[in-house]
Amino acid sequence: MKKTYQRNFKKKVLVTGSSGFIGKHLKTKLEKQGVHVDIFDRLNGQDINNTSQLKKVVKNNYDVVYHLAGFSGSKESNENRFKSFQINTLATVNLMELIVNYSPDTKIIISSSRLEYGKPLNIPIDEKHKTKPTSAYGLSKLAATQMAQIFGNTRNLKYIVFRTSNVYGPHEEKKFSGYNLVNYFIDQAKRGNNLIIFGKGDQLRDYIYIDDLTQAFVMAAESEVQQQIYNLGSGKGISLKHMAQTIINSIGKGKIKYINWPKKYKEVETGSYITNLKKINKELGFSPKVRFADGIKMTITAS
């Protein structure tokens, strides 16, 4: 597929879930590039489940909608199944319906998850890998992705879905909610606390620095490519225990503590994961720039 780009990214953009980790960084990045960014966020008194509120903003005819609002966490989603599908699936479907009805030229870029795949049959994983989620979270995200494909086929919805791996980077410390494990471990190590790892910690994860991730999001908006799904990660596999030890070594505090798998976490564990970047590199021209050890140092310094 030939890569084609707009020369000047001066689009009118809406970001849902702008107060989240990715949303804050993306909004900052876009504004630094001179992009007009509006937000749709619960901290702004807006509800992603509120159709009238969504309809009002969609009618502003944005060039791009970044849909980041969601309910995260595999274990947490299994404990709140209705909430997971209400936010991750139904609200997303409603947003897409409003776009095709009231702003058909809008391109929606959806932040999804590697957990759409479930347990990998082979790694690195490409976009053709079968999807079999192990959690309500993964399934709720997969259903939204499949609906984007249906809207694309039947209503010509312009969409790109990113199935992202584990993202980390500068952040404000907050209570762990089943998401952003690297950031949580950094916060724990800074306080000299134990970094809890279930089992032996040998399973590989693909960690992507936030600046790399948001760059891919910007490239998706700049590109004329649409109706595509991309895996987004670093393309490198790092074990959980190595990730934790890298953080400890960089901070000089903290200690790894290994414990047996809690049942509810074991049920949703997917094993090792590494992203195959061939498609996103070929079609969007994206390649991650930040090495994991460097990203950890930058996160520690800035957080």
Q: CA 218, 219, 220, 226: dihedral to nearest 10 degrees?
A: 150
| Residue (of 238, 271, 244) closest to 257 by Cα position | 244
Contact status, residue 168 vs residue 203, Cβ threshold 8 Å: no
Q: Please give the pLDDT value at position 3.
A: 45
Q: What ranges do the domains of the chain cover?
A: 12-302
Q: Please give the pLDDT value at position 7.
A: 43
Taking every pair of Cα atoms in the chain, the longest distance, rounded to a whole number of angstroms, is: 55
CATH architecture for the domain at 12-302: 3-Layer(aba) Sandwich (3.40)
Q: Please give the pLDDT value at position 176.
A: 63
Tell me the pLDDT of the chain (303 aa) as tens digits: 444 444 456 689 999 999 999 999 999 999 999 999 999 999 999 999 999 999 999 999 999 999 999 998 877 888 888 999 999 999 999 999 999 999 999 999 999 999 999 999 999 999 999 999 999 999 999 999 999 999 999 999 999 999 999 999 999 877 665 668 999 999 999 999 999 999 999 999 999 999 999 999 999 999 999 999 999 999 999 999 999 999 999 999 999 999 999 998 888 889 999 999 999 999 999 999 999 999 999 999 997
Q: Please give the pLDDT value at position 9.
A: 60
Q: Please give the pLDDT value at position 78.
A: 81
Predicted model pTM? 0.93
Q: Taking the CB of residue 117, how many other CB atoms lie within 10 A of it?
A: 22
Distance (Å, whole) CA 238 – CA 231: 17
Distance (Å, whole) CA 168 – CA 241: 16
Q: Please give the pLDDT value at position 109.
A: 98
Give the number of C-alpha atoms closer than 13 A to the C-alpha of residue 32, restricted to the C-beta side. 9
